[in-house]
Structure 1
Amino acid sequence: MNKTLGLFIGCFLLPVAAAITVLKFDLAPTSTTNYGRFLEQEVVLPIKSDDKMWSIVLNLPEHCEESCEVQRKNAEQLKVALGKHSQKVSVVLFDHEIAFSVLQSKQSTLAPAAFYLVDKHGLVVLEYLYQPNPESNRLVLKGLLKDMKKLLNYARSK
């Protein structure tokens, strides 16, 4: 066998062997850099994007009182905290009137008083659950802002 053919076969077999090793011995990295939680099932919300790249959606079901009021105030603060990115992101309140008229079953799959990152096609990407402790909830919202800025910077680099 000549040198070129051996090098060609080696360049093919080495990555395949490495991939099989990683999969067989479960050596894939398990940590992530996002602060939100990925949803386990696909949920598409009927959100109008208005030429916005992303939406931050607050789920406000019918039987949600104190936690929803706290999150409603946080949603107003998120609009301000987005700063220069507020032109690219919309903050949407997904309440029971909208859900009843559109798709109530989808709202029931979402956690009450939780924030969701939604792309311009309505696909829910990340979930940020409400924390009753104010300090923990502040950290969750801070993580949401970090994830949003990371997504916007990534989209800008394309």
Structure 2
Amino acid sequence: MIQRPLGIFIVCCLIPLALAYTAIKLEWLPEHTTNHGQFLQSELRIPHFQASDDTLWTIAINAPDSCKSQCDAQFEALKNLYVALGKHQKDVALAVLNRTTEEFSLNNYLNYGLDAKLRPASLYLVDHRGLIVLQYQYFNDEEKNRIEHKGLLKDLKKLLKYARSS
């Protein structure tokens, strides 16, 4: 009589394990993800990154000095993205990567140098420890950029929602 509950318990544990093993072996994994940005190929951290205590995420733009018109367009888009965050602005900081000259107003931006090869004028989501998580590349087509920026907003709002629930 005691054997039957033990047998049911073992079967209930083995069936999910067998299904998971089968799914992995037969490559039944999803082909896409829900994020709109691209994950970086390798882990990349910003050295000496300093986020304030209430900042959860940072939007960084890679703006080397050689990037002029593209970066100027991205700076304008970044200002609009920041406004679009609305009540979430307090949780998000803005940063500039690889800019040595200050031709523009850096009033809201933190400035960091980075040795890694990053695409000029691309936007990056950085967590509160300085880990670059997602990349949103710059396109010469304005419509593609608008779609990329909407994706960044969706990803960021989803990440902020998850941060609040944990």
Q: Which moved more, 1:119-128 or 1:86-95?
A: 86-95
CA distance change for structure 1 residues 102 and 33 in 2, over 3 Å: closer, same or farther? closer
Matches within 5 A, 1:26-45: 26-45=27-46
Q: Structure 1: which 5+ residue stretches go unaligned?
A: none
Within the candidate set 76, 88, 91, 1:73 is matched to 76
The residue matched to 2:115 in structure 1 has which SS?
helix
Partner of 1:91: 94
- 1:102 CA displacement: 6.4
Matching residue's letter, 1:50 = S
Q: Which runs of 5+ in 2 are unaligned?
A: 102-110
For residue 93 of structure 2, give the secondary structure of its aligned residue in structure 1.
strand
Residues 78-132 of structure 1: per-residue CA shift (max 9 Å, x gap): 221111100000111223329xx965422x2x11100000000000111000011
> What is the CA–CA distance in structure 2 between the aligned matches of 1:143 and 1:124, rounded to whole Å?
17
Identify if the C-alpha distance between structure 1 residues 102 and 74 changes in structure 2 by more than 3 Å, giving closer, same or farther. Answer: closer
Confirm or deny: 8 A CA contact 2:58 2:95 kept in the other structure: yes
Q: Higher helix fraction: Structure 1 or Structure 2?
A: 1
For 2:123, the equivalent position in structure 1 comes to: 115
RMSD between superposed Cα atoms in Å: 1.9
Pair 1:139–1:102, CA change in 2 (3 A): closer
In the alignment, which residue of structure 1 is the partner of 2:15? 14
Q: Is the 8 A contact 2:46 2:130 kept in 1?
A: yes
Q: Separation in 2 of the partners of 1:151 and 1:102?
A: 23
Ranges of 4+ aligned residues in structure 1 off by more than 6 Å: none
Query: How many percent identity over aligned positions?
Result: 43
Change (3 A) 1:102 1:65: closer
Compute the TM-score of the two structures, normalised by the length of structure 2: 0.86
Q: Relative to structure 1, is the Cα distance of residues 156 and 103 closer, same or farther in structure 2, using a 3 angstrom cutoff?
A: same
CA contact (8 A) 2:39 2:134 kept: yes
d(CA) in 1 for partners of 2:39, 2:96: 20
Aligned AA (1:29) = P
SS in 2 for 1:49: coil
Partner of 1:126: helix, strand, or coil? Answer: strand
Q: Distance in 1 between the 2:18 and 2:88 partners?
A: 44
